[in-house]
Amino acid sequence: MRHDYDYLIIGAGMTADAAARGIREIDPAGSIGIVGDESDPPVRRPALSKDLWIDDDATLTGSTLDPAADTGAEVFLGQRITGLDPQGKVATSATGDEFGYGRALIATGGTPRHLDGLEPSEHVIYYRTVADYRRLREAAQPDTHAVVVGGGYIGSEIAAALSQNDVHVTMVFPEDAPGAGRFPTEIAEQVTARYGQAGVQLRAGTGVDSGHDTAEGVQLTLDDGSTLDADLVVVGLGLQPAGDLAESAGIDRSDDGGIVVDDHLRTSVDDVFAAGDVASYLDPRLGRRRVEHEDNATTMGQAAGRALAGADEKYAHTPMFYSDLFDLGYEAVGRMDPSLETDVVEQDGGSVVYYLDDGRVVGVLLWNVWNAVDAAKSVIESGTRPESGLLKS
């Protein structure tokens, strides 16, 4: 079957939803098609590792986005686009449907990075989607034992969420502490203490070699040779950007597999744009980068929608990001890389961490410090930390 749209959005996540809204800011009437391969509608993904586990009033429905109702877009779910022909201006789905377009946006995000030797199974969940949330909810009964593999964003949040739902949690990660890939030692120590206080077992400095299902659950073999039995395993090892479609269409990709866009979010082929987790964009303050966070998805998505509809605007947003771990939390801007020089300043009962590259501030972590994101962006823009070290909101 053939469908034709003025604007075709490939992928149905937060970026797609924001893009449809962005289109409508400029063009109230143009037809919009959104094609996503998940069977669930777009959702605010942060809820899947936070609110839905810790807020009794939070519901999946409350976190679900509805671009069809809000923008009049036609939304196709459970349909994977497998081919994109920029000359013929048509995308083809796995079921053989064709989607013609005037302009297209690739908002395909990414898929969880996989671990060799640990296949997804009934008891092993690579965590990202609503379907993953439903499975984990069902499996994560009080007093079950869950192993969380990975100490990054998703691993740290899911471990905290499960622990707050009376699941016994063991975390396995190669770094020295949960979040040690982002935090300086002082903060990493606080995080370690908080997880310990909650009863989460930390197997720091350890990786998973392999795993297999057993009659009761899963047995993991760790790289120190020990084994670990669990009722379920949740894996959070970061994202592999879903840029393959672009490659097959001859669109330029970044070294990490993302899709390269210019300062108007255009890809290297005419009338095809990209945004969100998959896009490698030009940040005016930090240079070319790819960001896997909500503010990036919604702000870049909206800008891409406006660009699709003809707005001639440079994209110049530096996104913030945030995370909550038990009663600890933070907002941050820029590069959080503890291998850089860091400077930690106590402020308002929390800490501000400056990450310096060659003397220039390239990242600011606001650890339990709130309402200071704009000030942090100004610091990164100037490259210089305030003389007192304190940030004014």
Ligand X SMILES: Cc1cc2nc3c(=O)[nH]c(=O)nc-3n(C[C@H](O)[C@H](O)[C@H](O)COP(=O)(O)OP(=O)(O)OC[C@H]3O[C@@H](n4cnc5c(N)ncnc54)[C@H](O)[C@@H]3O)c2cc1C
Q: Which residues bind ligand X (CB under 6 A)?
A: 10-16, 35-38, 45-46, 48-49, 80-81, 107-110, 128, 154, 242, 245, 276-277, 292-295, 297, 321-323
Q: Return the number of other C-beta atoms located less than 10 Å from residue 216's C-beta.
A: 11
Q: In Å, how far from its chain's centre is CA 366?
A: 19
| Residue least distant from ligand X (Cβ) | 109
Considering beta carbons, is residue 252 or 295 the nearer one to ligand X? 295
State in angstroms the smallest separation of the CB of 193 from ligand X. 22
Judging by beta carbons within 10 Å of its beta carbon (0-12, 13-18, 19+), is residue 219 exposed, middle or buried? Answer: middle
Considering beta carbons, is residue 282 or 345 the nearer one to ligand X? 282
Considering beta carbons, is residue 12 or 222 the nearer one to ligand X? 12
CB 256 within 8 A of CB 271: no
State in angstroms the smallest separation of the CB of 54 from ligand X. 12
State in angstroms the smallest separation of the CB of 44 from ligand X. 7
Considering beta carbons, is residue 222 or 251 the nearer one to ligand X? 251
Tally of residues, the chain: 393
- Which backbone phi and psi does 287 adopt, to 5 degrees? 85, -170
How far, in Å, CA of 80 to CA of 101, rounded? Answer: 16
Q: Which two tokens stand for residue 352?
A: 């501000």
Residue type at 3 in one-letter notation: H
CB 42 within 8 A of CB 9: no
Task: Enter the DSSP assignment of 269.
Answer: S
CB 232 within 8 A of CB 214: no
State in angstroms the smallest separation of the CB of 209 from ligand X. 25
State in angstroms the smallest separation of the CB of 128 from ligand X. 4
How far, in Å, CA of 99 to CA of 9, rounded? Answer: 10
Q: Which of 107, 89, 70, 22 is nearest to 311 (CA)?
A: 22
Considering beta carbons, is residue 152 or 385 the nearer one to ligand X? 152
How far, in Å, CA of 43 to CA of 17, rounded? Answer: 9
How far, in Å, CA of 29 to CA of 31, rounded? Answer: 6
CB 111 within 8 A of CB 99: no
- The residues with which 56 forms a beta bridge, in sequence order, are none
Considering beta carbons, is residue 68 or 345 the nearer one to ligand X? 68
State in angstroms the smallest separation of the CB of 200 from ligand X. 18
Q: Which two tokens stand for residue 306?
A: 């406006």
Considering beta carbons, is residue 77 or 356 the nearer one to ligand X? 77
Judging by beta carbons within 10 Å of its beta carbon (0-12, 13-18, 19+), is residue 112 exposed, middle or buried? Answer: buried
CA triple 202-206-211, angle to 5 deg: 100
State in angstroms the smallest separation of the CB of 342 from ligand X. 21
Considering beta carbons, is residue 222 or 300 the nearer one to ligand X? 300
State in angstroms the smallest separation of the CB of 324 from ligand X. 7
Considering beta carbons, is residue 13 or 211 the nearer one to ligand X? 13
Task: Give SS3 for 56.
Answer: coil
State in angstroms the smallest separation of the CB of 154 from ligand X. 5
